């Protein structure tokens, strides 16, 4: 079945959650952060997009991407990012029978979750959610301690204070996932 939303919003801004196939105990994304960065950069060089915000956790990532005006093909971009990254990491993951039959790797979940950003409030809430996510999952006690996040860029730009999240009520953010 075709998802017609992707054709209705060219140049839109989207929130994504992308997961590894095996999440439990897997640290592949942070252990292999350089190949992941390279995969993003190579795909971006051929299929333009802007990374508005991103957090990479050991077994999943969240990001907000803005596509160029007139372009709505986020599925191709994610397919290319996943494939590029998978080619750069050593084999060794468990592969299901169906993936084996298709000649696929078992690095990523086949699908991803997307959400069209509807307005400025939605945009800000998702950026906060992205930056809070390492605390939510217990990887760090404070947001600034997680190295794989656009939070640090936001601090440099003056959009967040370095101690963001220490004193504000983030229960709304923490309840989203």
CA–CA gap between residue 50 and residue 71 (Å, rounded): 12
Burial of 39 (0-12, 13-18, 19+ CB in 10 A): buried
Q: Are 89 and 32 in contact (CB under 8 A)?
A: yes
Q: How many CB atoms lie within 10 A of CB 169?
A: 7
160 is catalytic: no
Q: Are 139 and 61 in contact (CB under 8 A)?
A: no
> Which string of b and e fits 4-18 if b means at least 16 CB within 10 Å?
eebeeeeebbbbbbb
Q: In the sheet where 13-19 sits, what is the strand order?
A: 50-56, 60-66, 13-19, 113-116
Among candidate residues 129, 148, 154, 160, the one labeled active-site is 148
Tokens 């217990």: give the residue.
138
Dihedral, CA of residue 166, residue 57, residue 138 and residue 13, to nearest 10: 50
- Catalytic residues, by residue number, are 148
């Amino acid at each position: 079945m075709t998802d017609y939303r992707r054709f209705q919003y060219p140049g839109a801004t989207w929130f994504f959650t992308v997961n590894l196939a095996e999440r439990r105990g897997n640290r592949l994304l942070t252990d292999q952060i350089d190949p992941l960065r390279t995969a993003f950069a190579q795909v971006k060089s051929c299929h333009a997009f802007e990374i508005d915000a991103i957090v990479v956790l050991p077994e999943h990532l969240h990001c907000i991407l803005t596509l160029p005006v007139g372009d709505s093909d986020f599925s191709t971009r994610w397919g290319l990012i996943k494939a590029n990254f998978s080619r750069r990491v050593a084999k060794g993951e468990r592969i299901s029978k169906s993936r084996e039959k298709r000649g696929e790797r078992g690095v990523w979940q086949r699908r991803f979750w997307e959400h069209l950003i509807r307005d400025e409030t939605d945009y800000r809430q998702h950026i906060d959610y992205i930056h809070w996510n390492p605390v939510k999952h217990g990887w760090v006690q404070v947001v600034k301690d997680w190295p794989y996040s656009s939070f640090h860029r936001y601090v440099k730009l003056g959009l967040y204070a370095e101690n963001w999240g220490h004193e504000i009520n983030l229960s709304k953010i923490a309840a989203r996932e």
